[in-house]
Amino acid sequence: MTDMAEKADHKLCREDFTPGPASYSEVYPGLYLGNLSAATDIEWLREAKIDYILTVDSCPIPRQIPELLPNLTIKYIQITDMPREDLLTHFGISYEFINHALESNSRILVHCYLGVSRSATLVIAYLMKKYRKSYCDTFEIVREKRPMIGPNRGFVAQLKLYEDMDFEIDSTSIRFKMYRLQIAADKVRKAKILPQDCMDLVRPDPALATVRPEPTVYRCKKCRRIVASASNILPHAPREKQIWRHISTKRTSKQSKAVHEPLELPKKDEHEPVEFCTKILFVEPMAWMPDITHNVEGKLNCPKCSAKLGSFSWIAGNQCPCGSKIAPAFYLVPSKVDWSNAVQNVQVTV
């Protein structure tokens, strides 16, 4: 080991390892999966006639590579190989980049540092969508061409969620909403505030006038102000630990529809219904909750009458009486709100 490994904290650094010699595998005609050494091997890039490089790593490829190969088109996605990194939201742009290269009859190298986890994840996601195959089947196809691949457990969960969403980002999916909230919670844990790039998670105030108001809303029991719409509810099942983590099922689209009709239950199969818990109402973060962007936890009070409606916690989450532990958690106490299935007069926010 290098001297860096002998520092006081005894933590291994990236510099303690090397990607080794150039390593690459053609996993699909014209589509290569490899390591950083392959992406910097000028002779091999020329010999293999690589015209596109997709880098998914903590650092971009050296500047001299595109300078020496002026016809090279490159794309860089900055991601570390950690299970809680968000690679899922990059599946769309990586698919378009890879597909454009292949449809142009060009050859493309997708690489990370070792060509094992991050780049393998993007290649698997591409082939899953292109051929509408499951994660398990696609993984075996790619591993047959490159036996060393091994996406980390977080990326595997993201690929399975991608499969459940029918190979597209479904912003109405309950699991996708919770997935993004958990990614944001990791950032809040470090910065103690909600970063700007996560502000889109804060949904609009449901009390604002809108062209098509949702028919089902939740109101403060004391003053009747609207505090949530049906689509803001994140249903959970008793004893459920993490909403977004993959469960081997194809019912995500059904759950997405059910969220617009509270307590209408999706089914595991034709015989066994999945009942949602009603002891706590977990909701999306909303614009009427001013403290959630600069506090790790706190109370949720009605913005009109200040009545206490619930609480929030980005890190610790909340334990529902049903045994379900959800983190992060933004929740309303059912006894503090009423729901109605008709919006007669959409009020102006107070």
239: pLDDT strictly greater than 90: no
pLDDT at 275: 79
pLDDT band (50, 70, 90) for residue 276: confident
Average pLDDT of the chain, as a whole number = 86
Angle between helix 118-131 and helix 135-145 axes, rounded to 10 deg:
120
Cβ-based neighbours of 201, under 8 Å, separated by 6 or more: 180, 181, 184, 194, 284, 285
What is the average pLDDT across 321-335?
Answer: 94
240: pLDDT strictly greater than 90: no
Spatial CA neighbour of 230 closest among 165, 168, 281: 281
Q: Which amino acid is at 182?
A: Q
What is the average pLDDT across 31-51?
Answer: 97
pLDDT band (50, 70, 90) for residue 237: confident
pLDDT at 343: 57
264: pLDDT strictly greater than 90: no
H or E segment at 74? strand 73-78
Write down the pTM of the prediction: 0.82
Spatial CA neighbour of 150 closest among 182, 181, 123: 123
245: pLDDT strictly greater than 70: no
241: pLDDT strictly greater than 90: no
What is the average pLDDT across 146-171?
Answer: 96
pLDDT digits (tens, 9 = 90+) for 181-220: 999 999 999 999 999 999 999 999 999 877 677 889 999 9
Radius of gyration over every alpha carbon of the chain, rounded to an integer in angstroms: 24
State how far Cα 284 lies from the chain centre. 15
Question: Could you give the CA distance from residue 33 to residue 112 in angstroms, rounded to a whole number?
Answer: 9
What is the average pLDDT across 338-346?
Answer: 68
pLDDT at 150: 97
pLDDT at 342: 61
pLDDT at 242: 65
Residues tagged active-site? 112
